[in-house]
């Protein structure tokens, strides 16, 4: 009887291990199918030992199988195989940290010509608000403090699509 317990636990452990391996080695579900067969065989062995062990086996497989699979999914982008699956041929260049912060349709350097330009705060800047530079309305961030609507501003920096401004006169609040 104790051999059923031993084999049941071993088969369930192998099933959980195969679920984790499935994330890293794409097999079109073949490894997952094998894990499912092993889990069923392990649970049958545990039910041969006793009904209590069978129910414990089902609960353990659901708990550890789900936990192991979720852990593997979190680790996948940090492995070479995972990066190749996610990013294709650029996997060696992509570390996952550098992301293009520009929204779709925005051309890099679109706001670069605004650097040093003067404008007017259309809304209160707390610290984000709307400014008008020439005939353009933009969302900008105040670098120094809150600015009231109507305050003259100067574009002090542009990083991607983020425009930062400083107040040029009265109307600054701290």
| Lowest-confidence pick of 19-28, 49-58, 76-85, 104-113 | 104-113
- What pTM does this model have? 0.47
Rg (C-alpha) for the chain, rounded Å, is 29
| DSSP secondary structure code for residue 125 in this structure | B
Quick check: 114 pLDDT over 60?
yes
Structure tokens at 30: 């073949």
Contacts of 17 (CB under 8 A, 6+ apart): 68
Q: How many CB atoms lie within 10 A of CB 46?
A: 26
Ordered by where they begin, the domains of the chain are: 2-92 (no CATH), 112-173 (2.40.50.140)
% pLDDT > 90, the chain: 34
pLDDT at 90: 60
Q: Residue range 129-145: average pLDDT?
A: 88
pLDDT at 86: 72
pLDDT at 96: 46
Q: Residue range 41-49: average pLDDT?
A: 94
Place of tokens 């349709």: 105
Angle between helices 2-24 and 51-75 (to 10 degrees): 20
H/E element, 51: helix 51-75
User: Are 73 and 25 spatial neighbours (Cβ–Cβ below 8 Å)?
Assistant: no
| DSSP secondary structure code for residue 107 in this structure | P
C-alpha span between 161 and 104 (Å, rounded): 11
C-alpha span between 29 and 97 (Å, rounded): 30
Instruction: State whether the Cα torsion 112-115-121-126 is positive or negative.
Output: positive
Q: Residue range 93-104: average pLDDT?
A: 47
Quick check: 8 pLDDT over 70?
yes
Closest residue by Cα to residue 21 from 75, 91, 96, 86: 75
């Amino acid at each position: 009887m104790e051999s059923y317990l031993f084999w049941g636990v071993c088969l369930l452990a192998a099933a959980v291990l195969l679920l984790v391996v499935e994330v890293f080695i794409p097999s079109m579900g073949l490894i997952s199918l094998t894990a499912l067969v092993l889990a069923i065989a392990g649970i049958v062995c545990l039910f041969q030992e006793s009904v209590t062990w069978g129910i414990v086996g089902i609960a353990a497989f659901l708990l550890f199988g789900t936990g192991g699979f979720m852990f593997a999914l979190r680790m996948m982008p940090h492995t070479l195989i995972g990066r190749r699956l996610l990013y294709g041929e650029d996997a060696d260049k992509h570390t996952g940290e550098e992301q293009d912060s520009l929204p779709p349709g925005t051309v890099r350097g679109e706001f670069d010509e605004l650097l040093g330009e003067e404008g007017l705060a259309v809304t209160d800047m707390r610290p984000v608000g709307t400014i008008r530079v020439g005939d353009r309305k933009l969302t900008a961030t105040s670098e120094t403090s809150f600015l009231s609507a109507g305050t003259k501003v100067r574009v002090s920096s542009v990083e991607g699509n983020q425009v930062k401004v400083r107040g040029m006169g009265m109307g600054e609040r701290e």
